[in-house]
């Protein structure tokens, strides 16, 4: 079942890349997608972790808009910090507790932290992250745990 959906996603990827809908290229795309599915099974990467299609709707509709807003907000802060002549930085390392249950959820959390400028994940452990923040206020925002809560909510219903 998962292999079928992987196949469909990869075939759609091919069609969007190609844009030529001749018979030969369609067949080539289908063969390609099939080969890649089989090969990724052989490489042992075609499991639930490697193809989290069940998360896609929630990601696109709920999580990404919020993340975009966060990125814009913190980018603005970092940009003003860079442009000030005094360079008012106060680098901080924070340990955060993460409440995600799966590795995909932890990865989403870690990458969301890194993606927002001003904070970056240094160490992603099982239930504790080591985060470096450019300013103390950025670290405090992160420690309020809103992002953690949203990621946990997003990865639920697995």
Partner 1 sequence: MTSQIIDLASWLLIAGGGIFCMIGALGLLRMPNFFTRMHAASLIDSLGAPMLLLGMILQSGFTLVSAKLLFIALLLFFTSPTATHALARAARARGVGPDLAEELPTATDREDK
Partner 2 sequence: MRGDLVLRVIAKLLIPFILVFGLYVQFHGDYGPGGGFQAGVIVAAAIIFHALIYGLPLTRRAVPEWVVELMVAAGILLYAGVGVATMLLGGNFLDYSVLAHEPVHGQHLGILLVELGVGITVTGVMLIIFYMFAGRSRSPHSES
- Nearer to partner 1 among residue 45 and residue 79 (C-beta): 79
Non-local CB neighbours of 51 within 8 Å, separated by 6+ positions: 2, 5, 6, 9
Return the number of other C-beta atoms located less than 10 Å from residue 94's C-beta: 17
| Maximum C-alpha span of the chain | 63
| Partner in contact with 143, chosen from partner 2, partner 1, none, beta carbon below 5 to 8 Å by kind | partner 1
* Euclidean distance between CA atoms 63 and 151, whole angstroms: 8
Residue 83 CB, shortest distance to partner 2, in Å, is 31
60: contact with partner 1 by CB under 8 A: no
Using a 10 angstrom Cβ sphere, with 0-12 exposed, 13-18 middle and 19 or more buried, the burial of residue 43 is exposed
Residue 56 CB, shortest distance to partner 2, in Å, is 12
Residues 73-102, mask of contacts with partner 1 (x by CB under 8 A): --x--xx--xx---x-xxxxxxxxx-----
Binding site for partner 1 (CB under 8 A): 16-17, 19, 71-72, 75, 78-79, 82-83, 87, 89-97, 110-112, 114-124, 128, 132, 134, 136, 139-140, 143-144
């Amino acid at each position: 079942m998962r292999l079928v959906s992987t196949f469909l996603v990869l075939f759609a990827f091919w069609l969007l890349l190609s844009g030529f809908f001749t018979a030969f290229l369609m067949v080539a795309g289908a063969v390609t997608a099939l080969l890649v599915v089989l090969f990724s099974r052989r490489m042992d990467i075609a499991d639930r972790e490697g193809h989290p299609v069940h998360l896609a709707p929630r990601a696109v509709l709920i999580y990404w808009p919020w993340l975009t807003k966060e990125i814009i907000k913190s980018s603005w802060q970092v940009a003003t910090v860079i442009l000030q002549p005094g360079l008012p930085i106060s680098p901080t390392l924070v340990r955060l507790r993460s409440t995600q249950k799966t590795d995909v959820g932890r990865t989403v959390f870690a990458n969301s932290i890194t993606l927002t400028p001003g904070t970056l994940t240094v160490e992603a452990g099982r239930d504790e992250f080591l985060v470096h923040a450019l300013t103390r206020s950025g670290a405090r925002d992160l420690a309020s745990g809103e992002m953690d809560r949203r990621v946990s909510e997003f990865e639920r219903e697995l």
